[in-house]
Amino acid sequence: MSMYIDLLKKVLLDLHRVNQNEYVPIRRKKQNLKRNFLLLFNGVLPKNKYQICDVKPYDPEARINGIDWPTYADSMIGLKRMNNIEYCVSKVIEEHVPGDLIETGVWRGGSVIFMAALLRDKQVSDRNVWVADSFEGLPKPNTVKYAADKNDIHYMHPELAISMETVKDNFRKYDLLGDNIKFLKGWFKDTLPYAPIEKLAVLRLDGDMYESTMDGLVNLYSKLSKGGYIIIDDWGVVPGCKQAVLDYRQQHHITAEIIAIDASGVFWKKT
Ligand SMILES: C[S@@+](CC[C@H](N)C(=O)[O-])C[C@H]1O[C@@H](n2cnc3c(N)ncnc32)[C@H](O)[C@@H]1O
C-alpha cells in the first residue's frame, strides 16, 4: 500500500477537504425570478472581487460514488472508480501485460494524472499514458449515424470543455507531466484511427455518448493486449454508452464477464 497513492486519490477527488461547501458560480440564465435578480447583481458587481454562487453542501457519498460534477476536483469519477484504475494498472504491471494506458475523455485530467502517478509510484518507465480529448467538450449528436445519441445534451454543457493547457497545468501541479504523457487533441473519430499507439494494457472509455464510446471501441479494442483491462465509465448512467458496448460485444463475439465497479462504471479483462 502506498500512502502517496491513497492521499493522491483523495486530493484528485477533493475528498480531503472535509466538511467544506463548494461555491458554484451562477452562469446560466434560468427562468426563475430570484436567480435573475441575483444575475443582475452579478452584472454590476466588480467581477474580480465578487461573484454570486450557489452553495453546494459537502457530500462525501457523492464523491465516493462519482455521481456529482465537482466544482474544484480534478476528476468526477469518484473513489470507487479510482480504486478500480489502481486495481487494473497494478494487475497489468504485476502480470507483465504489455502496453500503454489510455483514457478517452479526460475532462480536467484526474484519471490520467492518477494513471501517471501509479506508473511513477511503481517505478515503471516503459509505458505511456495517452490523454485523448477534444478539450472543447462533447460533439453534437450525429443522429444520422448514431440514433442512440438522439437526446444527448452533453454538448450543451460548457463545464465539460476543459482546454489542453489546463489539463497540462493540472499534470504539472502534481509534477507528473513527463515525456511519457501523450496528448491526442481532437474528436475521437479524427484522432483515434491515426493515434500512433502500438499496444494498450488498460483502455478506459469515458466519453459518455454512443458515438464517443463506439469510436473508442472500434479504434482501440484491437490494440488491447490479452490480459489487459477495458473500463467503461458511463455504462450505468448513459444508455447510449451501454448500447455501444453491447453492440460492439455482439459484433465481435466478446463474452468476457462484465464486472460492476459502482452504479455507473464496469470493466472486464480481455481474454
Ligand atoms: C465525463 S468527462 C470525463 C471525466 C474524466 N474522465 C474524469 O476523470 O473526471 C467526458 C470528456 O469526454 C470528452 N469527449 C466526449 N466525447 C468526445 C469525442 N467524441 N471526442 C473528443 N472528446 C470527447 C469531453 O470533452 C469531456 O472532457
pLDDT digits (tens, 9 = 90+) for 84-126: 999 999 999 999 999 999 999 999 999 999 999 999 999 999 9
Q: What is the pLDDT of residue 31?
A: 58
**Atom number, ligand 1, closest to the C-alpha of residue 107:** 27
- The reply to whether ligand 1 has any atom less than 6 angstroms from the CB of 109 is no
Amino acid, single-letter form, for residue 117: A
Residue 28 has pLDDT above 70, yes or no: no
Q: Ligand 1: distance of its center to the CA of 266 in Å?
A: 17
Q: How many CB atoms lie within 10 A of CB 6?
A: 11
Residues sharing a CB contact under 8 Å with residue 102, sequence separation 6 or more, in sequence order: 129, 130, 131, 132, 197, 200, 202, 203, 204, 220
**The CATH number of the domain covering residues in 78-269:** 3.40.50.150
- The reply to whether ligand 1 has any atom less than 6 angstroms from the CB of 139 is yes
- At 266, is the secondary structure helix, strand, or coil? strand
Measured in whole angstroms, how far is the alpha carbon of residue 22 from the centre of its chain? 21
Pull the grid cell for residue 79.
473513489
Residue 48 has pLDDT above 80, yes or no: no
**Atom number, ligand 1, closest to the C-alpha of residue 74:** 9
Question: How far is residue 112's CA from residue 118's CA, in Å, rounded to a whole number?
Answer: 10
Q: Ligand 1: distance of its center to the CA of 46 in Å?
A: 33
Residues sharing a CB contact under 8 Å with residue 67, sequence separation 6 or more, in sequence order: 78, 263, 264
What's this model's pTM, rounded to 2 decimal places? 0.94
Q: Quickly list H helices, 130-255.
A: 164-173, 188-191, 210-220, 239-251
Residues sharing a CB contact under 8 Å with residue 222, sequence separation 6 or more, in sequence order: none
pLDDT band at 30 (very low <50, low <70, confident <90, very high): low
Question: How far is residue 131's CA from residue 38's CA, in Å, rounded to a whole number?
Answer: 38
Domain residue extents for the chain: 21-57, 78-269
- At 200, is the secondary structure helix, strand, or coil? strand
Q: In the sheet that 100-104 helps form, which strands lie side by side, from edge to edge?
A: 181-185, 129-133, 100-104, 200-205, 224-232, 266-269, 259-260
pLDDT band at 177 (very low <50, low <70, confident <90, very high): very high
Rounded (10°) angle between helices 110-121 and 164-173:
40
Question: How far is residue 238's CA from residue 251's CA, in Å, rounded to a whole number?
Answer: 20
pLDDT band at 38 (very low <50, low <70, confident <90, very high): confident
Residues sharing a CB contact under 8 Å with residue 40, sequence separation 6 or more, in sequence order: none
Q: Ligand 1: distance of its center to the CA of 176 in Å?
A: 20
Q: Ligand 1: distance of its center to the CA of 16 in Å?
A: 25
Mutate to test the pocket of ligand 1, among 72, 107, 214 (most ligand atoms within 8 A of CB): 107
Residues sharing a CB contact under 8 Å with residue 86, sequence separation 6 or more, in sequence order: 5, 9, 114, 118
Mutate to test the pocket of ligand 1, among 159, 160, 174 (most ligand atoms within 8 A of CB): 160
Q: Cβ distance 185 to 231 under 8 Å? A: no
**Atom number, ligand 1, closest to the C-alpha of residue 103:** 6
pLDDT band at 33 (very low <50, low <70, confident <90, very high): low
- Number of residues in the chain: 271
Of the candidates 89, 88, 24, the residue with the CA atom closest to the CA atom of residue 54? 24
pLDDT band at 39 (very low <50, low <70, confident <90, very high): confident
Q: What is the pLDDT of residue 190?
A: 98
